[in-house]
């Protein structure tokens, strides 16, 4: 690989990709050191804030179990992201992609429970079943039909856009009631805005830092703001269910 890269550069050509991936300099067992480190930092931030959430919010809060489950799904995704960027194999690639999709779909469920399901549990239950079916179909297609990267990206982007618009509409409706609404708006805008970093797709700096690693590194601080919103909102639900408050 490095011989090919050297020949390309010697002839004045741009750095080539190999099987759709840039060439990276390994560090110990890490094939993509920066991305592996970024994924690990995201996982640690998620774990730290989950522990803070559980210490700050009583179990009686209506969203406690749903948010805890979301955190576990996210931790699983960051674990497999770290493993995949450490060692790219058939299994680790599939687990990275499938677990990332699970987080996106569960984020829809989290949004549904918070905005509709607290007053109408049947709706969130039906949405949950539909999301499970969608995830099963998505994984089955990628596993048994075609592992289509374009389809996977389009599917995740579409679901993410639904999540974005849903949260933004809810925040707008509750902006006069919930003083922390801006945290949610900022989180969803940051997450979708930072994802655009993937479009840069430049050759890795020093053969280590590429656009994917920059994207993952940029999302680490977002966990702290997101869980700050979740803590504020969970305490609000626990302590204030007064007339005029729009739980949904």
Q: Is residue 248 part of a domain?
A: no
pLDDT tens, position by position, 16-61 = 777 667 666 777 877 888 889 999 999 999 999 999 999 999 999 9
Q: Is residue 129 part of a domain?
A: yes
Whole-number Å distance between alpha carbons of 81 and 68 = 20
What CATH number should be reported for the domain holding residue 75?
1.20.1070.10
Which residues constitute the domain of residue 222? 28-232
Residues of the chain above pLDDT 90, percent: 61
Q: At what angle do helices 211-239 and 33-56 cross, to 10 degrees?
A: 10
Task: Say which residue, 137 or 119, is predicted with more confidence.
Answer: 137
∠ CA(143), CA(16), CA(85), 5° rounding? 45
pLDDT for position 20: 66
Q: Is residue 245 part of a domain?
A: no
Q: Is residue 135 part of a domain?
A: yes
pLDDT tens, position by position, 46-57 = 999 999 999 999
Q: Is residue 11 part of a domain?
A: no
Q: Give the pTM.
A: 0.86
Q: Is residue 62 part of a domain?
A: yes
Number of domains in the chain: 1
Q: Is residue 5 part of a domain?
A: no
Q: Is residue 180 part of a domain?
A: yes
pLDDT tens, position by position, 107-119 = 999 999 999 988 8
**SS3 of 82, please?**
helix
């Amino acid at each position: 690989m490095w011989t090919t890269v050297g020949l390309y550069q010697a002839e004045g050509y741009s750095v080539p990709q190999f099987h759709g991936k840039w060439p990276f300099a390994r560090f110990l067992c890490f094939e993509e050191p920066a991305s592996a480190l970024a994924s690990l930092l995201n996982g640690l931030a998620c774990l730290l804030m989950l522990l803070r959430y559980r210490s700050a919010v009583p179990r009686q809060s209506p969203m406690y179990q749903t948010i805890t489950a979301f955190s576990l799904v996210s931790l699983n995704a960051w674990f497999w992201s770290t493993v995949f960027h450490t060692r790219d194999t058939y299994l680790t690639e599939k687990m990275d992609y499938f677990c990332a999709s699970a987080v996106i779909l569960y984020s829809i469920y989290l949004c549904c429970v918070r905005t509709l399901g607290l007053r109408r549990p049947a709706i969130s239950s039906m949405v949950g079943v539909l999301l499970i079916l969608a995830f099963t179909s998505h994984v089955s297609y990628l596993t048994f039909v075609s592992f289509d990267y374009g389809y996977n990206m389009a599917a995740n982007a579409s679901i993410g856009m639904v999540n974005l618009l849903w949260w933004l509409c809810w925040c707008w409706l509750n902006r006069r009631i919930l003083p922390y609404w801006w945290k949610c708006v900022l989180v969803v805008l940051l997450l979708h805005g930072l994802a655009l970093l993937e479009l840069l797709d430049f050759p890795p700096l020093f053969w280590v830092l590429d656009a994917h690693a920059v994207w993952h590194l940029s999302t680490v601080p977002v966990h702290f703001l997101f869980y700050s919103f979740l803590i504020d909102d969970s305490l609000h639900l626990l302590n204030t269910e007064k007339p005029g408050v729009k739980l949904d």
